Structure 1
Amino acid sequence: MQTMSQHPPHWDSLPPTVPGSVRCPVCLSTEGCASATELTCPAGDTHCYNGILLISGGGIFTSLRLQGCTSEAGCNLLNNIEKIGALTVREYCIHEDPASSNQDVLTCQRGVMVKLQTNSAQTPVEWTASGSQTCEAGEMCQETLLLVDVGHRSLIVGSKGCSQIRTHESPTVTVHSGPPGMLVASYARFCSSSGCNRADSSSVLLDAIPRPAPPVPGDLQCPACVELFGSCSENSDIVTCPKGTIRCYRGSINLRGGGLSSSLDLQGCMAQPSRYLLNHRHNIGVFSVIENLSTRLQDKKNSFITE
């Protein structure tokens, strides 16, 4: 019988790193990289990487700021991979001029708005900032609105401030789910001049979405509720859904970013074939969002479907 060696296995050690001529800030943080340490890159790494990974799924909702050395320019750290197991990953690069050591630093309006009331889908509400914020180099100003209307009650959430995400500067209005069922719509704008995130009311969203005709009652009844920082009760108000709705919705949206970290609990009437209000979307402006369905959804025949 062959005896086993008593000596531990031996692996060749990695060759020593040869320093190159490029120096880059190096940082891995969920908070920011304002105090990143600058190090000499290994030979062969000729560019500095500066970006953000937005990671969501599996109970994780976070943004990871990355700086370091890389062998090629561009924004493709993950080789275009967007799914890693249960996680969804989005990559955003912060494009800075390497020839300039004095980056333009913006001052942006800053504040969070949360209003739970009636008629927010028809009547604009005031959207003012509580103060201002000096951004880090390379950041943009942002303003994001999310509106959820279940019929008799609506929630509008807004955020203004600095953003590490650098993207298009044209406002984006999206109707994620619309009448005759629950209305979920959003407005997002990123801009690159001081104080440019100065929309003063929710009309920037309401004026850009279609106004539906008065609803015709249908034959489906559903509990209707929207709650922030809480849960819909088993005794939520029952409403008669408009004609054209096909099921009752029950679920939640986990919301992170822009100064907010909470869960929206939702019940209401739904018209679209998809059972998801956000159609698997994971980012709305500065917000990271994850939608979770209840395990029991009610259709127009008042039977329950298990997802």
Structure 2
Amino acid sequence: MGTGHVQSLLFLLLLLGAPSLASEPDFYCHKGISMSIVKDPKRMFNWTTDKVETCDSGSFCQESLLMIKSGAKTAILATKGCISEGTQAITYIQHSPPPGIITVSYSSYCEESLCNSKENLLQLWREEEPQAASTSAHLYCPTCVALGACSNAPSLPCPNDTVQCYQGRLQITGGGINSLLEVKGCTSITGCRLMSGIFTVGPIWVEEVCPYRSVLQPRKIENRAAWLPVYIWRLELALLLLLQ
């Protein structure tokens, strides 16, 4: 085959869209999961990992975590890795605010190799509960957070402005995580809404179940006393109608 014929054939292949001999550069992301219960998230939690994975074309790097504080301890469930769907974005949500149980989630999707490289929580965990918060004399709640199940949770006085005892379990899956988390404590939210109705954190899915009836803060005695005369008045009126 002549040299001119070979050159013509190569030119024809380029026109027809033949695959380029130069392949796309590999795309890498840090990979890892972490599940821990700590007392000081800012100082005790390390989000670094030595593992790296190669991602498919068009993927993003993600790093996502869920943090729940009840009493003196905080549960942290975190994941890093490739993700094939999504958009480049950073999301920070405070699901349940202080006083009482604090729930925070964070996720970051980025499109450069090894961009999911956050190492700690210094910029994420904001301790907003007052150091010397006054407590309620009326409401005490079992207080704990644990991977699996809480055992022998102490009953502690609740901060003022909390309204009920929360007792729930969260099944957490996705991003390499499959774990059950149990949470008990005082809260300023009502009902089974520790996640405020948002159940996805990056690739993580959270299923919230409250098997126990929540204990609402009791009404003040003076409020109940105000109802009593109305009830008696209705009873007296019914008796008068029967005697007529």
Give the Cα–Cα distance (whole angstroms) in 2 for the partners of residues 259 and 152 of structure 1: 27
1:119 to 33, 37, 40: 40
Q: 1:285–1:246: structure 2 CA closer, same or farther, 3 Å change rule?
A: same
Cα drift, residue 300 of structure 1: 1.7
Alignment partner, residue 204 of structure 1: 123
Distance apart, 1:123 and its partner CA? 4.2
Equivalents in 1 of 2:161, 2:136: separation in Å? 7
Q: What do the CA deviations read for 1:122-173 (whole angstroms, capped 9, x no partner)? A: 646221113101011221100012111002211111111111222233x211
187-196 or 218-227, larger mean C-alpha shift: 218-227
Q: Report SS of the residue matched to 2:214.
A: strand
Alignment length (residue pairs): 198
Post-superposition offset of 1:199: 0.4
Please state if 1:226 is matched with 2:175. Answer: no
Query: Cα–Cα, structure 1 residues 136 and 103, in superposed 2: closer, same or farther, change >3 Å?
Result: same
Whose helix proportion is higher, 1 or 2? Answer: 2
**Higher relative contact order structure (alpha carbons within 8 Å, sequence separation ≥ 6):** 2
- Whether the aligned pair in 2 keeps the contact of 1:187 and 1:204 (CA below 8 Å) is no
Deviations 1:254-298 (A, max 9, x none): 111111111111111110234310122221122011111124111
Where in structure 2 are the equivalents of 1:13-28 lying within 5 Å? none
Q: Which has the higher strand share?
A: 1
Give the 5 Å matches for 1:95-174: 105-120=26-41, 123=43, 125-169=45-89, 171-174=90-93
Counterpart of 1:126, as a letter, is N
Question: What is the SS of the residue equivalent to 1:142?
Answer: strand
1:210 deviates by 6.1
CA distance in 2, matches of 1:265, 1:142: 26
| Kept in 2: contact 1:103–1:138 (CA 8 A) | no
Gaps in structure 1 of 5+ consecutive residues: 1-99, 303-307
AA at the equivalent of 1:223: P
Q: Segments of 4+ in structure 1 off by > 4 A? A: 100-105
Q: Secondary structure at the match of 1:205?
A: coil
Q: Which consecutive unaligned segments of at least 5 residues does structure 2 have?
A: 1-18, 220-244
Q: How does 1:225-264 map to 2 (within 5 A)?
A: 225-228=144-147, 230-233=148-151, 235-264=152-181
TM-score with structure 1 setting the length: 0.60
Q: State the percentage of identical aligned residues.
A: 30
- Alignment RMSD (CA, Å): 2.2
Task: Give the SS at the match of 1:301.
Answer: coil
Q: Distance in 2 between matches of 1:136 and 1:273?
A: 43
Q: Secondary structure at the match of 2:161?
A: coil
Preserved contact between residue 168 and residue 192 of structure 2 (Cα < 8 Å): no
